[in-house]
């Protein structure tokens, strides 16, 4: 009998050690090592042993001048939001990791996209659901649509990678979807499903399969209670694209963010609405992020932001009240708390407003999180509106970053922000006077562009 081999793995980064260590030498995390059995088979196999196409493949070094460059072929899906976050479509031979909270809609999104890609042979591998459960969800999504061709869509409920690659060899699919990578188990390693070594080995097998056969693979993954992707950090380095599905289950809207993309921008995001017919892409998110109200209310300002290449108009809500506790409260949803404290300090120092005795509550409507610094001006105006209890005009929006000395700094892509505000019917937009393109292109806009340079000017203009 072969000797059972055991090793210790860091749960945070996947570092392997022959003995237990208190602190990981790779990532510095304390008490993160767990023992796993990694007894490997004598005749090591991988997916290539189940196919004959790559056995005679040889590799050699070539100079960069010998490499022919060409446009990567992309599969355009019916989902415009998914195409956007992937950089224009699915790249052949790419491996994509999609992670998110349980029940957020990851399986639903890729099930409906796989069914709609009728020109491609799609293999959906599930280690979590039975074939009957997936069939029931597909019928619910398309409401028993008899005209939908399902002959191109194949199901495989299996967790062993050995069986999976044997079926892949027979079927030869165009697209492979794995739900989920944490449920897979490789016979090469004798450890439990979801362990560090199993996730690393199974992801490595699918990576080799994707690159050598030029077949795109989607790996659906779990996340930890801290919000990170479950498994070793090396999992994110192995794949080409990492997508994060975000959203509150109490809201109908979901956000698909790009955390890593070797084929496009990492600042893109897609917005979906969860309906009884599955995920519906939102083509004009500005309309859903601005609350429809009949009367003017204080503490509300509209910000013109940019997410990737997409301009968005979002609503900033604030509430400033007299503090009844010894220490004033600062409560924020969807915005950086330290950034709010910075803006309050600017108002206190440059404007003379006594926010030190006030409770401040700030919320970004729609349940999304904004990191664009151009939202500073709208946050500042919403705070002033609530402080003075004077509502801002409904036909005005803001785009500008606020500096520590109280100046309004220029932001990028200001022309796209102005065009989006004009499209949604706003009559005025306040921007920084330091944006050089404003003076050159002001004549082509039908919206009044107000350029200002100081916080004091804003207060005098609005109040």
pLDDT digits (tens, 9 = 90+) for 328-356: 899 999 899 999 999 999 999 888 888 88
Compute the distance between CA of residue 292 and CA of residue 288 in angstroms, rounded to an integer: 9
Most confident of 6-20, 134-148, 323-337: 323-337
Q: Looking at residues 52-61, what average pLDDT do you find?
A: 61
349 is in an annotated binding site: no
Q: What percent of the chain has pLDDT over 70?
A: 90
pLDDT bucket at 274, cuts 50 / 70 / 90: confident
Does pLDDT of 59 surpass 80?
A: no
Most confident of 49-53, 174-178, 416-420, 457-461: 174-178
Tens-place pLDDT, residues 234-252 = 889 999 999 998 876 666 7
Name which residue leads in pLDDT, 440 or 30: 30
pLDDT bucket at 41, cuts 50 / 70 / 90: low
Compute the distance between CA of residue 30 and CA of residue 24 in angstroms, rounded to an integer: 6
Per-position b or e across 43-54, b if 16+ CB within 10 A of its CB: eeebbbebbeee
Tens-place pLDDT, residues 142-199 = 886 766 778 899 999 999 999 999 999 999 999 999 998 999 998 888 778 888 888 9
β-pairing, 253-261 vs 269-275, is antiparallel
403 is in an annotated binding site: no
Does pLDDT of 40 surpass 70?
A: no
Does pLDDT of 360 surpass 70?
A: yes
pLDDT at site 169: 92
Does pLDDT of 53 surpass 70?
A: no
pLDDT at site 253: 80
With beta carbons less than 8 A apart as the criterion, state whether 103 and 156 touch. no
102 is in an annotated binding site: yes
pLDDT at site 44: 47
Most confident of 40-54, 65-79, 310-324: 310-324
Most confident of 77-86, 147-156, 306-315: 77-86
326 is in an annotated binding site: no
pLDDT bucket at 441, cuts 50 / 70 / 90: low
100 is in an annotated binding site: yes
pLDDT at site 292: 66
pLDDT, mean over the chain: 85
107 is in an annotated binding site: yes
């Amino acid at each position: 009998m072969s000797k059972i081999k055991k090793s210790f793995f860091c749960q945070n980064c996947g570092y392997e050690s022959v003995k237990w260590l208190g602190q990981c030498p790779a990532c510095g995390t304390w008490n993160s090592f767990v023992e796993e059995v990694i007894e490997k088979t004598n005749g090591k196999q991988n997916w290539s042993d189940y196919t004959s196409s790559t056995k005679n493949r040889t590799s050699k070094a070539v100079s960069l001048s010998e490499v022919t460059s060409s446009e990567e072929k992309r599969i355009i899906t019916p989902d415009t939001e998914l195409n956007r976050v992937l950089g224009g479509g699915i790249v052949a031979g790419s491996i994509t990791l999609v992670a998110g909270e349980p029940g957020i809609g990851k399986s639903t999104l890729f099930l409906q996209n796989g069914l709609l890609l009728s020109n491609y042979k799609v293999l959906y591998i599930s280690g979590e659901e039975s074939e009957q459960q997936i069939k029931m969800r597909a019928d619910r999504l398309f409401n028993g649509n008899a005209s939908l061709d399902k002959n191109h869509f194949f199901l495989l409920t299996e967790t062993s990678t050995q069986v999976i690659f044997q079926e892949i060899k027979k079927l030869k699919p165009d697209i492979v979807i794995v739900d989920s990578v944490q449920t897979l188990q490789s016979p090469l390693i004798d450890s439990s499903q979801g362990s560090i070594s199993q996730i690393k080995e199974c992801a490595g097998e699918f990576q080799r399969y994707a690159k050598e056969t030029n077949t795109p693979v989607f790996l659906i993954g779990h996340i930890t209670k801290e919000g990170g992707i479950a498994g070793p950090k090396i999992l994110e380095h192995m794949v080409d694209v990492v997508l994060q599905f975000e959203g509150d289950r109490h809201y109908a809207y979901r956000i698909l963010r790009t955390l890593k993309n070797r084929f496009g921008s990492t600042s893109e995001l897609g917005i979906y609405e969860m309906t009884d017919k599955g995920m519906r892409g939102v083509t004009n998110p500005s309309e859903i992020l601005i609350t429809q109200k009949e009367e003017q209310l204080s503490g509300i300002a509209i910000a013109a932001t940019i997410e990737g290449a997409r301009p968005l108009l979002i609503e900033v809500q604030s509430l400033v009240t007299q503090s009844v506790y010894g220490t004033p409260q600062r409560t924020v949803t969807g915005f950086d708390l330290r950034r709010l404290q910075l803006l309050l300090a600017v108002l206190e120092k440059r404007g003379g407003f006594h926010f030190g005795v006030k409770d401040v509550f700030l919320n970004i409507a729609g349940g999304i999180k904004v990191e664009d610094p151009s939202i500073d001006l709208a946050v500042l105006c919403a705070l002033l509106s609530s402080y003075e209890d004077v509502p801002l005009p409904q036909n005005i929006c803001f785009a500008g970053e606020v500096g520590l000395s109280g100046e309004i700094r220029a932001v990028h892509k200001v022309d796209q922000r102005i065009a989006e505000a004009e499209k949604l019917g706003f009559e005025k937009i306040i921007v920084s006077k330091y944006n050089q393109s404003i003076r050159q292109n002001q004549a082509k806009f039908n919206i009044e562009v107000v350029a200002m340079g100081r916080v004091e000017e804003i207060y005098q203009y609005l109040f």
